[in-house]
Structure 1
Amino acid sequence: MISTPFQTGGLNVTTLIFVRHGVTAENLNYTLIGHTDPPLHEFGVLQAKAVANALQNVSVDCLYSSPLKRCLQTASVIAERRRNLEINTCPALSEIHLGIVDGMSSFLAYDQYKSLMDAALDDSLSDFQFPSGESRSAALRRFQQGLDSLVAKHKEGTVCIVTHGGPLGLWLADYHGDPLGRFRHWQPHHASIARVTYRDRRFHVDTLDSTEHLSNGLMKPPSQPS
C-alpha cells in the first residue's frame, strides 16, 4: 500500500495521479494497439487491483479515463474502492491512432510495411505518422490540451487519470526536452503510477513509473496469454 509518495499537494497546487492501464492479451502478443479496443487480460485485471490497493488511502477528488476499454476497466477497479467516485471519459487521453497498422501483429506490420516500421522505430525522427493515423505532434497536442483543461477545471484538487503509454511517453519526452522519437524510452510500465503537480503555472513531475505495488509477481506478465 502506497501513501506518502502519492498524497495530494496544498494551496494553489493541483495534483495529477497518472495510471497506465494494465496489460491486454494484445500487448502480450506484440499486437499494435492504438485505437483498437481490446479488454484487459486477466493479468491486467490483477495489475489494476494492485493499483487500487496502492491508492486506497490517497484522497482523490475525481477520476478520468481514456474511453478505450483497457483504461475504463482499470479505472473501474479503482472506482470500486471508492464511494461516489464516477468515471469521466476524456477522448484527449486516448492512445495514438496507428492508422493502417492499428490492430495488426507487429511482425506482420513489419513484413508488409517495412519502411514505415523502420521510420516509426527511428528515435532520431521526431514526428511520424502512419497513413490514416495520428502524428506524434498531434497526439501530444491533444493530450496536453486535455491536461490543461483538467487542471483549469479542478484547481487545488487531486485528479486520477487512467491513460496509455503512447501519450504519456510523448508528454514525458517533451517535458524532458527529448525528441518525440524517443517517446518509447519514457513510456511507463503497465499499471505503474506517477504523480505530477501543477503549481506556479507549470507541470512538475514528482514521481514517475512507480511499480513497487507490482512487486508480488505482477511486474512481468506471463509470456503467453491464457
Structure 2
Amino acid sequence: MTTICLIRHGETDWNLKGKLQGSTDIPLNETGIRQAEKSAAYLNAEDYDVMVASPMKRAKRTAEIINASLQLPYEEMSNFAECSFGDAEGLTMEERTTQYPDKAYPNREEPEDFIKRVMSGVDDVLKKYPDKRVLIVAHGAVINAILATVSGGEIGAGKTRLMNACINNIHYKQEKWEVLNYNQVEHLSEDL
C-alpha cells in the first residue's frame, strides 16, 4: 500500500498578512521556520521512505528543515508547485473580493489545468514509489486539490482552510486513494 503524508509549508509574511501567494516565491518567516522545526521533531524517519517537495522557496525550505532531521532520500517535483493566481497574487482577501468578485483572476492558471498537473504528480509518485511511504511538502491549494479529488469533493478546495505546516494523510488501497486525516496541527499548538 502506498501512503502519502502531505505537509503544507510553514508560514510566510504574506500568509500572516492574508495575501494570496500563488506562484510568487515568498520565503518562510521566523514562525514558518519554527513550524518546520516542530514538524521535524514530530515526524519519525522510520515512518517514511522518501521525501518529495515543491521547488518553491517556502515549501523547499520547510522540506529541508524537516529532512535535516529525517535524512530521507529527497527529490523536488514541479507538479507540486503552487497554483498561479495571476493578477490576484499579492492581494488580500478584501482586495481580491473588491477587484474580482467573480474570482475570475486574469492570467491565472486554469483550475482544470492545475488539478490535472497536481494529480499527474500524485500518479507519478504512485508509479515511482509503489508500496512506499512518501512525505510530500507542498502548498495549500495543491494539498486541497488532492484532498478534493480523493474525497470526491467532500473536503479540500473551496471547503477546507489548511493551516500552515498541517499534516494530511492519504493512502492508495484496492486501486483507490482514500483520505485518512487532514489539517492535523497538534504538533504546532502554540503557533496557531
TM-score, reference length from structure 2: 0.91
Distance 1:175 1:150 in 2: 15
Letter paired with 1:200: Q
Which one of the candidate residues 135, 138, 145 is aligned to 1:163? 138
Match of residue 120 from structure 2: 145
Aligned to 1:24: 12
Could you say which residue in structure 2 is the equivalent of 1:125? none
The answer to whether 1:92 aligns with 2:79 is yes
Q: Name structure 1 gaps, 5 residues minimum.
A: 1-12, 121-128, 221-226
1:174, distance to aligned residue in structure 2 (A):
3.0
Does the aligned pair in 2 maintain the 1:166–1:187 contact within 8 Å?
no
Question: Which secondary structure does the structure 1 equivalent of 2:75 belong to?
Answer: strand
Question: What is the distance in 2 between the residues matched to 1:21 and 1:185?
Answer: 19
In structure 2, how many angstroms separate the alpha carbons of the residues matched to 1:210 and 1:179? 17
Q: 1:179 to 1:138 in 2, by over 3 A?
A: farther
Cα displacement (A) at 1:86: 4.1
Equivalent residue for 2:148? 173
CA distance in 2, matches of 1:50, 1:15: 22
Deviation at 1:32, TM superposition (A): 1.3
- State the match for 2:174 in structure 1: 200
Cα 1:184/1:42, change in 2 over 3 Å:
farther
Aligned-pair distance for 1:55?
0.6
Take 1:200 and 1:94, find their aligned partners in 2: how far apart are those partners?
Answer: 28
**What is the root-mean-square deviation of aligned Cα atoms in Å?**
1.9
Q: Percent identity?
A: 28
Q: Is the contact made by 1:67 and 1:91 (CA closer than 8 Å) also made in structure 2?
A: yes
The DSSP-based 3-state class of the residue aligned with 2:91 is coil
Match of 2:38 in 1: 50
Match of 2:65 in 1: 77
Please tell me whether residue 119 in structure 1 is matched to residue 94 in structure 2. Answer: no
Corresponding residue for 1:102? 89
Structure 1 residues 65 and 57: CA distance shift in structure 2, 3 A = closer
Range with greater deviation from structure 2 (153-162 or 86-95):
86-95
- Residue 194 of structure 1 deviates from its aligned partner by 1.4
Distance 1:195 1:109 in 2: 31
Mind listing any 5+ residue stretches in structure 2 that lack a counterpart? none
SS at match of 1:81: helix
SS of residue paired to 2:24: coil
Tell me the matched-pair count: 192
Query: Does 2:15 align with 1:15?
Result: no
Whole-Å separation in 1 of the counterparts to 2:146 and 2:66: 24
The 1-side partners of 2:3 and 2:141 are apart by 21
Judged with a 3 Å threshold, the aligned counterparts in structure 2 of structure 1 residues 57 and 67 are, in CA distance, closer, same or farther, namely closer
Q: 1:212 aligns with which of 180, 183, 186?
A: 186
Instruction: State whether residues 23 and 81 of structure 2, in contact with CA within 8 Å, keep that contact through their aligned partners in structure 1.
Output: yes
Relative to structure 1, the CA distance from residue 98 to residue 192 in structure 2 (aligned partners, 3 Å threshold; closer, same or farther) is same
Q: Which amino acid aligns with 1:202?
A: K
SS of 2:135's equivalent?
A: strand
Query: 1:110: how far off?
Result: 4.2
- Kindly provide the CA deviation profile for residues 163-200 of structure 1, in whole angstroms up to 9, marking residues without a partner as x: 111122122223333389x7132242211111111121
